[in-house]
Amino acid sequence: MREERTFYQKIVLVILAAMVVVFGIVTAFNQSRKGILLKDAFLQKEETTDADCFTGKAHGEPVTVLRWYGNDNGTRTVTFRVGERIHDTYTVYLGEPMIPLSITYSAVQVPTLRILKNETVIFEGGYWEETGAFFTPEGEFSGLNVDMTTYVAGADPWENYTMPKGQLVQLALEPELVDRGDWRLYGIMVLFTLLTMVDVAFPHTLFRWRHRRWVKDPEPTDDYMSVQHLVWMLVIPVLLASYIWTSFTLANVV
């Protein structure tokens, strides 16, 4: 028997179909934009004449990172700006002379790493690129290329901020570019959306199909349909939040 859909059902179907189309476009757009992560914020890569430029917003303020071209004698310059109030210049040197490591790694020598912030040395030691390990000038292990940041509520997140040495080394060598959005998760969301659309478009048919084994010619009551309408109303914001999370929050290494 052909189902007649109410105006409410048609509106819900239009909203669900629009989410599939709109977030498909958003996912494709976000996948085309490459950049880096800084303080959990996405900075988009922009091509310039003299540098790789990464721009975006972090903690509500415009942030720019410039990775200047040219690598004279193993040295790379990185400029970091927050609006007009912070302007730091980092110099990263990675190369000879090699430093011998402690007895644990006695068979390995790693390049010397020196990082300067505004001409002041903030790290000096060694860096083993294959393992992401940092070492002191004496060859002792001093940590991995894993950066963690903490925030104090109400405090200026950029006060006395220094870029993590792991990220500076990565920028000096080759930035680890990321994008946002995930086609696999988008496909899962589309599947859930299509199942919801079937439920919205054919509630009477599905009700009869579920109950035909126990009841002859079953028909949903008005109370049942009212509950269905409420469920559809609740599903829409859940799907919307999931689409937004899938399209914007996730970052994939390119």
Distance CA 41, CA 52 (A): 17
| pLDDT tens, per residue, the chain with 254 residues | 567 788 999 999 999 999 999 999 999 999 888 999 888 889 999 878 888 999 999 888 999 999 988 766 778 899 999 998 899 999 999 887 776 766 555 567 788 899 999 999 999 888 888 888 888 887 787 877 655 555 556 678 888 888 988 889 888 888 888 888 889 999 999 999 999 999 999 888 877 787 667 767 677 778 888 889 999 999 999 999 999 998 887 666 65
Pull the structure tokens for residue 1. Answer: 């028997």
| Inter-residue contact 25 to 43 (CB < 8 Å) | no
Distances (CA, A) of 44 to 54, 76, 227, 240: 5, 20, 45, 24
Question: Which residue do the tokens 């894993």 mark?
Answer: 146
Pull the structure tokens for residue 30. Answer: 């976000």
3 state DSSP class of 160: coil
Helices 222-244 & 7-32 angle (0-180, nearest 10): 10
